[in-house]
Chain A
Amino acid sequence: EAGVVQSPRYKIIEKKQPVAFWCNPISGHNTLYWYLQNLGQGPELLIRYENEEAVDDSQLPKDRFSAERLKGVDSTLKIQPAELGDSAVYLCASSLVAVRGTGELFFGEGSRLTVL
């Protein structure tokens, strides 16, 4: 069974340019997460979807970041315009709706962004 697929794996852009990341979750998983991971730190949640609905986007910087999950399957995360501080790894994860806090998250390999 295919895991969570993310693209691109690596992206280098100049500041003020836009960038987009794509995520295809595991088939049948209705919950999708976007995390940001800075070097030497643990992942930080940006947004969580249950089906098409963003149920937790409190950590998403809405002035420059946007996300969508059309039809409750694939998702895209966009940054416009990118800043130097956005250089990080962007991780996508999916899970079945967690029942009593036990739902396992499956992560993709991440998209590494470098802003010059």
Chain B
Amino acid sequence: DAKTTQPNSMESNEEEPVHLPCNHSTISGTDYIHWYRQLPSQGPEYVIHGLTSNVNNRMASLAIAEDRKSSTLILHRATLRDAAVYYCILRPNHYGGATNKLIFGTGTLLAVQP
């Protein structure tokens, strides 16, 4: 399974943008890039995913490098509720099968200062 590399921790100030990087140099052409986050004492929750083009939703934006070997999750205005562990995950483009699963790394712990 292709691996991702993320910084262990990052800090941000409230109401400022946050750019969370992820390196995935061994990504295959069919892997989707998924981001999940985990708030304290909760299960992970889906944030966003993409394949090649940049993506936006109500929670965040995902910027994918042209060679797809890295991506950046962008929180446009961080709030205290955004303090969480953010996981960058590669998910194979298969319908069902044993490889259709999410493999989590250790993620980036984001601290948001008021």
Contact = CB atoms under 8 A, between A and B. Distances in A.
B92 to A, nearest CB: 6
Given A102-B49, A107-B44, A42 B87 contact: yes
Given A101-B92, A105-B46, A107-B45, A41 B106 contact: yes
Nearest to B30: A101
B43 A102 contact: no
Contact of B106 (A4, A33, A40, A58): A40
- Bin the interface of chain B by size: 20 to 34
B38 to A, nearest CB: 8
A98 B107 contact: no
Given A40-B106, A42-B87, A42-B105, A98 B100 contact: yes
Interface of A: 4, 33, 35, 40-45, 48, 50, 55-56, 58, 91, 93, 97-110
Interface of B: 30-32, 36, 41-46, 49, 85, 87, 91-98, 100-107
24 contacts: A33-B101, A35-B104, A40-B106, A42-B87, A42-B104, A43-B44, A44-B104, A45-B101, A45-B102, A55-B96, A91-B43, A93-B43, A93-B44, A97-B95, A98-B96, A101-B91, A101-B94, A102-B49, A102-B91, A105-B36, A105-B102, A106-B45, A107-B44, A109-B43
